[in-house]
Amino acid sequence: MQSGRRIALIGMLVSGGLAALKITVGELGHSSALTADGFESAADVLASGAIYLALTLAMKPPDSNHPYGHGRIETLAGLMVGFVLFCSGIAISAHALLLEHDQLPMPSAYAIWPLILSVVLKLALMRYKYSTGRRIRSAALIADAANDGVDAISGGAALIALGMTLISPDRFRHADQWGAFVVGLIVVFTGIRVVRETGSQLMDTMPDPWLMKLVREAAVTVAGVAGVEKCFARKTGLKYHVDLHLEVDPEMTVRASHDIAQAVRERIRGQLDWVADVLVHVEPAPLREPVGRKKPSKNK
């Protein structure tokens, strides 16, 4: 969790510096694509700030009103990042379309350097955030990594568009403005994807089947477990809460079945670090016919 907060803070500083640089140079160098990319970086500052705050609040321990902890704040932050991206992309594309293309001066050649710097830094941030987000299972940090990846792509699109205008002003006079429009579209579609992914977590979508298989396999290794009837899980921030229906000998005492359930809970939490807690419901195992026993004939 601390590493996630640290990288979110680094992301804020980098995005803030790039936003100021790109907007300033874009305005001075008359590059719409660079300015649009700068405003997109400014939105990243808000997104990274929200993630930093969410990861801080998600560290609060469970209480009487939040028995599952405060981890969902982190998922909500990821959802907000998606909305910010979506709205920012629409604003960037709309601004590019509303520009008076014929009245804009030619962009300056030095405007390409902030774009090159932005692509390099954003690719580095994307890799760092994604690896950290996967390690701590942070949906918000992974969403922010995707955002940085989009920044690198949008920066590359802006770089190509600006380069086309600089290389051949007569043929590609308006390529810089259309580059700003493409940057906005890329951001819009990324926002939609992030909203869909984080929204599915808020809807308690089950984890991947192979993860649930690991839970079942850990449960049946405990002595006295006859089987697992049902197994559900929902993500509550960085980890999952599991609901397990455990089958035991129907003739077993309540105390013995309780001890088995507790052992299963401890085994799963000990083996699977992505599981926050396990709620075990004990059920009698179904009676099975002994091998070789003949069924009574109906016609006597």
DSSP structural state of residue 62: P
> Which among 200, 190, 153, 179 is positioned nearest to 34, based on CA atoms?
179
Q: What is the mean pLDDT of residues 290-298?
A: 51
pLDDT greater than 60 at residue 100:
no
d(CA 35, CA 53): 28
Please report the pLDDT score of residue 2 as a whole number: 62
User: 209-284, which class in CATH?
Assistant: alpha beta
Mean pLDDT across 11-28: 86
Residue 36 structure tokens: 């649009």
Residue 291: band (very low, low, confident or very high) from pLDDT cuts 50, 70, 90: very low
Residues 77 and 149: their CA atoms lie apart, in Å, by: 18
In the chain, % of residues over pLDDT 70 = 91
Distance CA 100, CA 87 (A): 22
d(CA 217, CA 221): 7
Q: Kindly tell me the sign of the dihedral angle through the C-alpha atoms of 184, 187, 191, 193.
A: positive
DSSP 53: H
- Sketch the domain layout of the chain as residue ranges: 2-202, 209-284
How much is the mean pLDDT over the chain? Answer: 81
Q: 239 and 136 in contact (C-beta within 8 Å)?
A: no
Residue 225 backbone dihedrals phi, psi, to 5 degrees = -85, 120
CA gap 217, 155 in Å, rounded: 46
pLDDT tens for each residue of 26-52: 888 878 777 877 887 777 777 777 777
d(CA 247, CA 58): 34
Pair of tokens at residue 19: 């936003």
DSSP state string for 84-125: HHHHHHHHHHHHHHHS-GGGPPPPPGGGHHHHHHHHHHHHHH
- DSSP at 285: P
CATH class held by domain 2-202: mainly alpha
pLDDT of residue 300: 47
Length of the chain: 300
pLDDT tens readout for residues 104-131: 677 788 888 888 898 898 898 888 888 8
Q: What is the pLDDT of residue 267?
A: 94
Distance separating alpha carbons of residues 165 and 104, to the nearest angstrom: 12
pLDDT tens-place string over residues 228-254: 989 999 888 778 899 999 999 988 899
Residue 215 binned pLDDT confidence (cut-offs 50, 70, 90) = very high
**HSE-CB for 146 with a 13 A CA cutoff:** 24
Torsion 79-84-89-91 (CA) sign: positive
The larger pLDDT score, comparing residue 89 to residue 244, is at 244
